[in-house]
Amino acid sequence: MKKAILLLKNGEVFVGRNFGYEGETSGEVVFNTSMTGYQEILTDPSYTGQIVTMTYPLIGNYGINDEDVESSKIQASGFVVREASSIYSNWRGKLSLQDYLKQNKVVGIEGIDTRKLTRILRIKGAMNGILSAIDFDINSLKAKLDKVPDMAGLDLVPEVSIKEPKQYKPFVKGNPHIVVIDAGVKLNILRLFDERGANITLVPANYSYEQILNLKPDGFFISNGPGDPAAIHYLIKTIKNLIGKVPMFGICLGHQLLGLALGAKTYKLKFGHRGANQPVKNLKTGVIEITSQNHGFSIVENTIPDDVEVTHMNLNDNTIEGIKHKKYPIMSVQYHPESSPGPHDSLYLFDEFMKMVRENSSK
């Protein structure tokens, strides 16, 4: 296997072996604590512009299948693992992780100390890095890394959003109509809405509120996605104009954008929450949910307006994980209730929103 180098913004160098595509990539280096689910992680549009490090030491042992994708391609900029399994074994497996990365032209590195890398990211914070299997000159890599923009202030939504509106499936007469803002939506979100009897129209992230209202939605959903929510001014404006007109639900980036539209502020977390084992407390029921998460920004608690209540809290660091409007049928969560990968503790949120939509329609 050929040599590969990962250079961090702070000057730390990791030398390992290239697997996947033999090329070069850059982005914000982050870590994910999931033990499985690497296919869902790689294809999650929220990872656009990021090099993902898996903290679990062995990755790739069950291969790649046709079902566990969250978008049409790998979205992560690069992939870092301690050991990439040279063989895979699973009844659904169709392809090795190495070949999957090659097909999608995604650079991977293995054989480095991912514990050390994760510790650096936890202490210093997530930072930009460059991963190369073709250039091993540190000064050359530093020069290229200096040109990579920081994630803060970056709007990456146009890279993942659809360009034209489309129906997810043929409409069923009498079913509620949900308009989904595609800021990088995961496919399992659409599957779960479909299972609950929703007619779904996907629209681009730059769709205006007038265009959305012309579609006559019974509910409005703001999806997950990449980048800094505060930089997506056009979408914040759209959400502001829809408040009070239609029931709304946001997940991850959608939660942050909804918070900004309601008057709160957001900030960049030191190293973010990425994994399938994050404990979240439902403040209404007292139940602890084990959740799947992938985000690097959060809502500032003391900026939340009085007409909005906090519904969920992260038990690791007490950051805001859910909000609900006291007057309007509006709710959002920071984590990923659709899982993929992860536990199913929070699927009830889709039922709550669909109930909200149907009750509002009957009025």
Q: How far, in Å, are 45, 49, 311 from residue 182 at the CA level?
A: 10, 17, 25
Cα Dmax for the chain? 66
Separation between Cα atoms, residue 270 and residue 263, nearest integer Å = 23
The catalytic residue positions are: 252, 336, 338
Pairing of strands 177-182, 199-204: parallel
Separation between Cα atoms, residue 353 and residue 356, nearest integer Å = 5
Separation between Cα atoms, residue 121 and residue 126, nearest integer Å = 5
Identity of the amino acid at 60: G
Q: Sign of torsion, CA 32 139 49 271?
A: positive
Q: What is the CA radius of gyration of the chain?
A: 20
Q: How far, in Å, are 7, 42, 331 from residue 150 at the CA level?
A: 15, 21, 30
Q: Sign of torsion, CA 143 144 147 153?
A: negative
**Counting beta carbons within 10 angstroms of the beta carbon of residue 133, is it exposed (0 to 12), middle (13 to 18) or buried (19 or more)?**
buried
Pairing of strands 248-251, 219-222: parallel
Give the H or E element holding residue 24.
Answer: strand 24-32
DSSP per-residue string spanning 187-250: HHHHHHHHHTT-EEEEEETT--HHHHHHT--SEEEE---SS-GGG-HHHHHHHHHHTTTS-EEE
Separation between Cα atoms, residue 186 and residue 92, nearest integer Å = 21
- Give 10-residue mean pLDDT values along the chain (363 residues): 96 98 98 97 98 98 97 98 97 98 98 98 98 98 98 97 98 97 98 98 98 98 98 98 97 98 98 97 98 98 97 98 98 97 96 97 81
Q: Tokens representing 6?
A: 């990962």
CATH tag for 157-362 (out of 3.40.1080.10, 3.40.50.880, 3.10.180.10, 3.10.20.90): 3.40.50.880
Q: Which residues contact 218 (CB under 8 A, 6 or more apart)?
A: 176, 177, 178, 246, 247, 357, 358, 360, 361
Upstream peptide bond of 341 is cis (omega within 30 degrees of 0): yes
Q: In this structure, are residues 121 and 89 in contact, taking their beta carbons and an 8 Å threshold?
A: no
Q: Tokens representing 101?
A: 């990365």
- Residue 143 — φ and ψ, nearest 5°? -60, -40
3-145: which CATH topology? Glucose Oxidase; domain 1 (3.50.30)
Q: Give the model's pLDDT for residue 1.
A: 76
Domain boundaries, the chain: 3-145, 157-362
